[in-house]
């Protein structure tokens, strides 16, 4: 097992404004583009050749990762002119694979943080003699995912992407976004048109009697598709709760990248990351949050479970809880932004007037 395909072409719509200038897999998590963690984990599991299936903002991947040598990988890039969907993207890179028709090829969604034992998934695939094997995980609310019921032997009995009605919710096992495909199954996906692997390929394979095997695994798993999940995932990497060989430093309460300036009286906790060139003011508290490169957090600010974008500025005493401040945005002093607030890239919020009245 030496080859993998990484699906990194999605628009990351739910992650805006983090994904306005940066594709989702390139948004920093624990100090490096998120994709670095997935690539490093694949390498650690014995993968040597990775093909990146790109589409949205495709041009930013190659300048950063190059030929992959720095990660001990051989990396190739294939860009779709029009997005081809998950299945179309897989088919579109088929000619770059070296594997023979019966050999296993790994495929990963590009937004999943997980401790999955990749080698165990391949071993399960081989011992089951499956056409496709899927990593499955259990979640409280499966509606945003692909539901994958299995029989007593782990064989997949149905695939229901994003169920709409209560009757469709037949299991809490979901598609965790990591697969092993028999190479010949990839070649059989129709070429040159959009295909959803979840809505078309998997149901079609099941209807044709193919063997899809599910491996339920209860290790760390998170889809980083929303700002809150992304911020949580980054913090869990820093805390060491989510495993990755690519965290640039020791795991602990905070990761401060070289050239960041943190005032002596500032408090950094809960897996916080402070990016290169960022400045954290005196008395500020940053908990479970990500402050990207060159951002400024003013004195006395309180930033919890939030993301402060590249070169953004958070004013003195401002409180952010579960908020996202886009790249280059400015939030003036004494503001309060709560759960779900998103300030667009480059936007500007004035200082809050309330401080003047309370001072009066
Ligand atoms: N190249 C390419 N082209 N990649 C794409 C395209 C495309 O047209 N569309 C989506 N992708 C990539 C995304 O970048 C992401 O890495 C992956 O395919 C999955 O797309 P998402 O948009 O993140 O899908 P989702 O989270 O709603 O659902 C998927 O993941 C769930 C697990 O997190 C599905 O696979 C579900 O079945 C699954 O449960
Ligand atoms: Mg996703």
Q: Give domain 3-223's CATH superfamily.
A: Spore Coat Polysaccharide Biosynthesis Protein SpsA; Chain A (3.90.550.10)
Which pLDDT belongs to residue 58? 83
Residue located via tokens 């395909």: 5
With a cut of 80, say whether residue 360 has pLDDT above it: no
| Beta-bridge partner residues of 174 | 137, 147
CATH number for the segment(s) 252-349: 2.160.10.10
- Ligand 1 atom having least distance to the Cα of 194: 8
Of all ligands present, the nearest one to the C-alpha of 197 is 1
Which pLDDT belongs to residue 354? 65
With a cut of 60, say whether residue 356 has pLDDT above it: no
How many angstroms separate the Cα of 201 from the Cα of each of 65, 170, 206?
A: 30, 20, 9
CB contact set of 302 (below 8 Å; sequence gap of 6+): 284, 285, 317, 318, 319, 320, 321
One fold for 3-223 and 252-349:
no
Minimum mean pLDDT range among 2-6, 16-20, 102-106, 220-224: 16-20
CA dihedral sign of residues 142, 143, 148, 150: positive
Give the model confidence (pLDDT) of 149-200 as tens digits.
999 999 999 999 999 888 889 999 999 999 999 999 999 999 999 999 999 9
For ligand 1, the distance from its centroid to the CA atom of residue 182, given in whole angstroms, is 20
* Extents of the domains making up the chain: 3-223, 252-349
User: Of 205, 208, 215, 206, nearest to 185 (Cα)?
Assistant: 205
Six token digits for residue 337 = 């932004």
- Ligand 1 atom having least distance to the Cα of 11: 14
The reply to whether ligand 1 has any atom less than 6 angstroms from the CB of 179 is no
């Amino acid at each position: 097992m030496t080859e993998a395909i990484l699906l990194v072409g999605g628009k990351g719509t739910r992650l805006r404004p983090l994904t306005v200038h940066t594709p989702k897999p390139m948004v920093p998590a624990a100090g490096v583009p998120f994709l670095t963690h997935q690539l490093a984990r694949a390498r650690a599991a014995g993968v040597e050749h990775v093909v990146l299936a790109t589409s949205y903002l495709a041009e930013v991947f190659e300048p950063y990762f190059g030929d992959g040598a720095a990660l001990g990988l051989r990396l190739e890039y294939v860009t779709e002119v029009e997005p081809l969907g998950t299945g179309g993207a897989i088919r579109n890179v088929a000619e770059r694979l070296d594997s023979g028709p019966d050999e296993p090829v790994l495929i990963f969604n590009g937004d999943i943080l997980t401790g999955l034992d990749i080698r165990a998934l391949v071993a399960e695939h081989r011992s089951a003699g499956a056409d496709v094997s899927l990593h499955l995980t259990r979640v409280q609310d499966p509606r945003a995912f692909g539901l994958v019921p299995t029989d007593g032997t782990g064989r997949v009995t149905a695939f229901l992407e994003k169920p709409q009605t209560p009757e469709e919710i037949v299991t809490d096992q979901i598609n965790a976004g990591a697969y092993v495909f028999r190479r010949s199954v990839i070649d059989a996906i129709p070429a040159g048109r959009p295909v959803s692997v979840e809505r078309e390929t998997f149901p079609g394979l099941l209807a044709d009697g193919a063997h899809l095997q599910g491996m339920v695994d209860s290790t760390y798993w998170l889809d980083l598709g929303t700002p809150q999940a992304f911020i949580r995932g980054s913090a869990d990497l820093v805390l060491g709760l989510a495993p990755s060989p690519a965290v640039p430093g020791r795991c602990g309460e905070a990761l401060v990248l070289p050239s960041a300036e943190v005032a002596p009286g500032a408090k950094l906790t809960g897996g916080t990351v402070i990016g290169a060139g960022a400045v954290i003011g005196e008395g500020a508290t940053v908990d479970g949050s990500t402050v990207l490169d060159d951002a400024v957090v003013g004195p006395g600010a309180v930033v919890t479970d939030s993301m402060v974008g590249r070169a953004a500025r958070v004013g003195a005493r401002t409180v952010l809880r579960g908020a996202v401040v886009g790249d280059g945005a400015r939030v003036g002093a004494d503001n309060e932004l709560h759960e779900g607030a998103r300030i667009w890239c480059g936007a500007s919020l004035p200082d809050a007037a309330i401080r003047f009245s309370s001072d009066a």
